[in-house]
């Protein structure tokens, strides 16, 4: 028997459990389950590992992608560079190794959905705004660097990039790709959205919302109303989920 799962603080609505349960059924993967493990604090992780002897891998979500780092025995080089982990592999000796599949999921989805549509490739000077500075933003940052797309962070406080109050028509004219890495707009807070000046968006803008529930967030709706194109985080989720499965099944 092998058990995989997701750790986070609140896991009422999980893409991962549904995705992997359906995957196991569809591909006839036997003696394998995917469970949700809500942890009030990350300090509960060692107890979870101890109490779940069949556990072989975990996904990590809000707010533990950074907090989990001290609890790992090994961290993959890419995850070290990103400074965030969303995949943990547990080998037969109980060694916990950390990886980041968010990077892979975001980068590949951006290539597949944007570059292959020639949206970004038409402009050699495309620039991006990263909304939010949490764990997911770190993977986005490294992916943009590897794609040679300049970026600026946007947050509520000063000190790292711009604040939301500093966004104006000039900034949005210069930055055509806007990526929401914050949880704003996630179910059940569907009436929330990042406070950017949507009135300055137009046909040349592309909004990428890492939120996937709801599938059409208020951030996306407000952009589309101004002529912008928009996608949600589902393509990234599918890609990162398959990458997680690949990592868990690599030979120890």
Reported as a single tens digit per residue, the pLDDT across 205-250 is: 999 999 999 999 999 999 999 999 999 999 999 999 999 999 999 9
Instruction: Give the residue numbers spanning the domain of 55.
Output: 2-99
Q: Could you tell me whether strands 87-90 and 96-99 are parallel, antiparallel, or unpaired per DSSP bridges?
A: antiparallel
Q: Model-level pTM?
A: 0.86
Marked catalytic residue, from 9, 23, 50, 65: 65
Range with the lowest mean pLDDT among 41-55, 69-83, 125-139?
Answer: 125-139
Q: Is there a single domain that holds both residue 46 and residue 129?
A: no
Assess whether 65 carries a catalytic annotation: yes
Say if residue 114's pLDDT is above 70.
no
Q: Is there a single domain that holds both residue 229 and residue 107?
A: yes
- Note whether residue 242 is domain-resident: no
Q: What is the CATH number of the domain that holds 199?
A: 3.40.50.720
Q: Is there a single domain that holds both residue 82 and residue 197?
A: no
Which positions ≥6 away from 36 have C-beta within 8 Å? Answer: 5, 6, 11, 14, 16, 17
Q: What is the CATH number of the domain that holds 65?
A: 3.40.50.10860
- Note whether residue 199 is domain-resident: yes
The total domain count for the chain is 2
Give the pair of three-digit tokens for residue 250: 């690599």
Confidence label for 116 from pLDDT (cuts 50, 70 and 90): low
- Note whether residue 220 is domain-resident: yes
Say if residue 122's pLDDT is above 60.
no
Say if residue 47's pLDDT is above 90.
yes
- Note whether residue 138 is domain-resident: yes
């Amino acid at each position: 028997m092998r058990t995989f799962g997701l750790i986070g603080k609140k896991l009422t609505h999980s893409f991962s459990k549904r995705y992997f349960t359906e995957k196991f059924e569809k591909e006839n993967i036997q003696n394998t389950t995917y469970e949700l493990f809500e942890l009030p604090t990350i300090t509960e992780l060692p107890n979870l590992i101890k109490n779940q002897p069949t556990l072989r891998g975990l996904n990590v979500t809000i707010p533990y992608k950074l907090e989990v780092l001290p609890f790992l025995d090994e961290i993959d080089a890419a995850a070290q560079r990103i400074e965030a982990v969303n995949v943990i592999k547990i080998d037969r000796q109980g060694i916990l190794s950390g990886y980041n599949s968010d990077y892979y999921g975001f980068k590949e989805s951006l290539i597949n959905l944007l570059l292959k549509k020639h949206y970004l490739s038409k402009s050699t000077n495309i620039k991006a705004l990263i909304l939010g500075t949490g764990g997911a933003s770190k993977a986005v940052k490294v992916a943009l660097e590897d794609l040679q797309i300049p970026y600026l962070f946007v947050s509520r406080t000063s000190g790292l990039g711009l604040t939301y109050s500093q966004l104006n028509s000039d900034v949005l004219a210069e930055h055509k790709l806007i990526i929401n890495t914050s949880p704003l707009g996630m179910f059940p807070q569907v009436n929330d959205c990042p406070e950017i000046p949507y009135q300055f968006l137009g046909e040349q803008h592309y909004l990428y919302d890492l939120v996937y529930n709801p599938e059409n967030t208020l951030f996306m709706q407000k952009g589309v109303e101004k002529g912008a194109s928009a996608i949600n985080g589902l393509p990234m989720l599918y890609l990162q989920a398959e990458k997680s499965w690949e990592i868990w099944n690599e030979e120890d």
